[in-house]
Amino acid sequence: MKYFLSFLCFFYMSPLWAADFNKGGEAAKRQDFATAIEEWTPLAEAGDAKVQYYLAVLYLNWRAEPGDDEKAFRWFKRAADQGHMASQRQMGIFYLKGEVVNVDSTKAAEWFLPSANQGDDIAQFLLGTLYLKGDGVQKDVAKAIDYMTLAAEKNCAAAQYSLAELYYIGYQTKQNLTLAQKWYQRAADQGIEEALWDLKGMAEVEKSPTLSNSNNSEPSRNDQLWTALLQKGEYAQAVEVLTDLAEKGDKVAQFNLGVLSYLGQGKPRDYKKAFEWYSKAAEQGYTDAQLNLGKMYESGEGIGQDYVAAAELYRAGANKGDHYSQAALGLLYIQGKGVDQDFKEAIIWLTRSAKQGNIKAQENLGIFFIENSRDLFKVDEAIQWFSLAARQGSALAQANLGRLALQGRGMPQSYTKALDWFKQSAAQGNSYSQRNLAVMYYKGDGVTKDPSRAKMWFAFAAENGHPTAAQDVKNLDEELSTEQQEVAKKMIKDCMAKSYQGC
Angle at which helices 177-189 and 193-203 cross, to 10°: 140
Least confident of 7-16, 40-49, 321-330: 7-16
Residue 46 exposed, middle or buried by CB count within 10 Å (0-12, 13-18, 19+): exposed
Maximum CA pair distance of the chain? 98
Q: How far is CA 316 from the centre of its chain?
A: 21
Which phi and psi angles does 461 have, rounded to 5°? Answer: -60, -40
Least confident of 102-106, 135-139, 223-227, 440-444: 223-227
Q: What is the mean pLDDT of residues 77-85?
A: 96
Report yes or no: 296 and 318 within 8 Å, Cβ to Cβ: no
pLDDT band at 207 (very low <50, low <70, confident <90, very high): very low
Instruction: Dump strand ranges (E) for 11-98.
Output: none
- 2, 1, 8, 5: which is closest to 127 by C-alpha? 5
Could you tell me if residue 481 is left (phi over 0), alpha (psi between -120 and 50 degrees) or otherwise beta? beta
Distance of CA 265 to CAs 233, 237, 250, 258, 475, Å? 9, 11, 20, 10, 47
Q: Which residue has the higher pLDDT, 374 or 41?
A: 41
pLDDT of residue 221: 45
Report yes or no: 430 and 398 within 8 Å, Cβ to Cβ: yes
pLDDT band at 7 (very low <50, low <70, confident <90, very high): very low
Q: Which residue has the higher pLDDT, 24 or 164?
A: 164
Q: What is the mean pLDDT of residues 214-231?
A: 53
pLDDT at position 470 over 80: yes
- 122, 141, 124, 130: which is closest to 104 by C-alpha? 130
Distance of CA 59 to CAs 62, 63, 315, Å? 5, 6, 46
pLDDT band at 199 (very low <50, low <70, confident <90, very high): confident
Does this model's pTM top 0.85? My answer is no
